Amino acid sequence: MPFEGKSREEIELILAESKKKFAHYKAKGLSLDMSRGKPNPEQLDLSMEMMDILGSDADFSSENGADCRNYGELSGIPEIKRLFSELLDIPAENIFVGGNSSLNLMFHTFSRAYAKGLADSKEPWSKCETVKFLCPVPGYDRHFAVCEYFGIEMINVPMLDTGPDMAVVENLVRHDASIKGIWCVPIYSNPDGCIYSAETISRLASMKCAADDFTIMWDNAYSVHSLYAERVSIAGILSECEKYGNANRVLLFTSANKITLTGAGVSCIGGSKASMLAFIQTAAISTIGYDKLNMLRHARFLKDKEAVLTLMEKHAALLRPKFEAVDDVLRENIGEYSIAEWTKPHGGYFISLNAYPSTAKKTYELCREAGVTLTAPGATFPYGMDPEDKNIRIAPSFPSLSEIKDATEILSIALIITAAEETLHRATKD
Ligand code: PLP
């Protein structure tokens, strides 16, 4: 219950005081952006050394002697494959290295599925009457945008602390052959910060699927992005799938974008041998090869997983105070009112806040009036439709610490105003 134990008059008083505070902040004419999970320039500075690592007269050969300035090595150079193989916990020969965006490789995968089909497809998805995809919610808006682009029908699946609700997933995929896959962000999920349990991973790998080409889009974007001194290791999804005879069921993705430079990282896709062969057939049509100098730069700068984890500790030192500031300000301002719940993630780029139902859109608008940009309400759900109008994704990485504090003060006030108005409105209706 929001404002538990408070009378109507008390809630009206809280509302009036909050409106005064809101007017004060609005008058400041602030402009604060907590909408997208972008690193702050200080984080990007951590990798600037990488830009000089090759030098103009350096040896531009990869370990296998390939001249990285020239065409060749379509699937990437061995040293960067080795690094990604450590990060994704799959063999290096099962990896294809792309350009600076893993999202692009995901899009590429859907293009192939539609034009030719995936490794186990009987026909291209474009020939199927209906194609459906499971979308754990709240989730990543750009995953949903890819599905929407291809006209795929999206089905919401609730997220639990252990990952997607597997009872729901298993029930849906068992009988419906038009369900072709599921989006998964297994470590520090966007936006909940959830880490999938071993049981969830095993059930995803072993479940009975009506579609032969059911595909787990395993987007491991945040595998090394801890905010605290902890190293996360989860069960290997590819080996689990192999164990149950479903080796082609999973495609894995990650990138170095939020390790080095978000605008100029390196990405990869991994999977079974058969899946990678199928992927390369299309990749070979679309490019003669990705940027190998950038692969070489990354391999020489990042070296191995251990060195990556050391670099990530420096990112964490910059990010942690911002995440903690959001939590502190929310707790201080709204903790006593029971009007919202929010995550306290141990990693990743987001805090997921559930406001009082039916108030997320109004809260977003109020914040906007006071100069705070949040991720658009509904963005964490397929078609931009949050059925309860309550989820707000907070991205604390880009603004400075003092901007984060101001933005969260304003968000807290907006949450109080909208929850108080909604509570009074409901009480009047009752
Ligand atoms: N996947 C998830 C879950 C993300 O949150 C993001 C960026 O926010 C991406 C992928 C984008 O990855 P990339 O920059 O490699 O395209």
Whether the predicted pLDDT of 63 surpasses 90: yes
Most informative mutation of 257, 267, 268 for ligand 1 (most atoms within 8 A of CB): 257
Whether the predicted pLDDT of 393 surpasses 80: yes
State residue 377's pLDDT score: 94
CA dist., res. 220 & res. 186, Å (int): 6
Q: Judge residue 38's burial from the number of C-beta atoms within 10 Å of its C-beta, 0-12 exposed, 13-18 middle, 19 or more buried.
A: middle
* Residue 411 Cα to ligand 1 middle (Å): 25
Q: Which atom of ligand 1 is nearest to the CA of 185?
A: 3
334 band by pLDDT with thresholds 50, 70 and 90: very high
**Out of 236-240, 249-253, 424-428, least confident range:** 424-428
**Out of 51-60, 94-103, 249-258, 416-425, least confident range:** 51-60
Q: How does pLDDT run across 254-268, given as a tens digit for each residue? A: 999 999 999 999 999
Q: Verify whether ligand 1 is closer than 6 Å to residue 260 (CB atom).
A: no
Residue whose Cα lies nearest atom 14 of ligand 1: it is: 101
Q: Verify whether ligand 1 is closer than 6 Å to residue 252 (CB atom).
A: no
Q: How does pLDDT run across 122-143, given as a tens digit for each residue? A: 999 999 999 999 999 999 999 9
Whether the predicted pLDDT of 338 surpasses 90: yes
151 band by pLDDT with thresholds 50, 70 and 90: very high
Sequence-ordered strand ranges (E) for 109-185: 132-137, 153-160, 163-164, 179-184
Whether the predicted pLDDT of 4 surpasses 90: no
State residue 62's pLDDT score: 96
Whether the predicted pLDDT of 346 surpasses 90: yes
Query: Comparing 57 with 256, which gets the higher pLDDT?
Result: 256
**Mean pLDDT score, 335-350:** 96
Averaged pLDDT score across all residues of the chain: 96
Residue whose Cα lies nearest atom 4 of ligand 1: it is: 221
Task: Go through the domains of the chain in sequence order and give each one's CATH number.
Answer: 8-43+309-429 (3.90.1150.10), 61-303 (3.40.640.10)
pTM value?
Answer: 0.97
Q: How does pLDDT run across 360-388, given as a tens digit for each residue? A: 999 999 999 999 999 999 999 999 999 99
21 band by pLDDT with thresholds 50, 70 and 90: very high
Helices (H), 303-350: 305-334
Residue whose Cα lies nearest atom 5 of ligand 1: it is: 190
Residue whose Cα lies nearest atom 11 of ligand 1: it is: 103
Closest CA to 319 of 213, 380, 205, 398: 398
Residue whose Cα lies nearest atom 2 of ligand 1: it is: 221
Amino acid at 368: R
* Residue 413 Cα to ligand 1 middle (Å): 31
Sequence-ordered strand ranges (E) for 116-266: 132-137, 153-160, 163-164, 179-184, 215-219, 250-255
State residue 428's pLDDT score: 83
Whether the predicted pLDDT of 213 surpasses 80: yes
Q: How does pLDDT run across 284-329, given as a tens digit for each residue? A: 999 999 999 999 999 999 999 999 999 999 999 999 999 999 999 9
DSSP state of 335: G
State residue 156's pLDDT score: 98
Q: Are 68 and 77 in contact, with CB atoms under 8 Å apart? A: yes
State residue 57's pLDDT score: 73
State residue 162's pLDDT score: 98
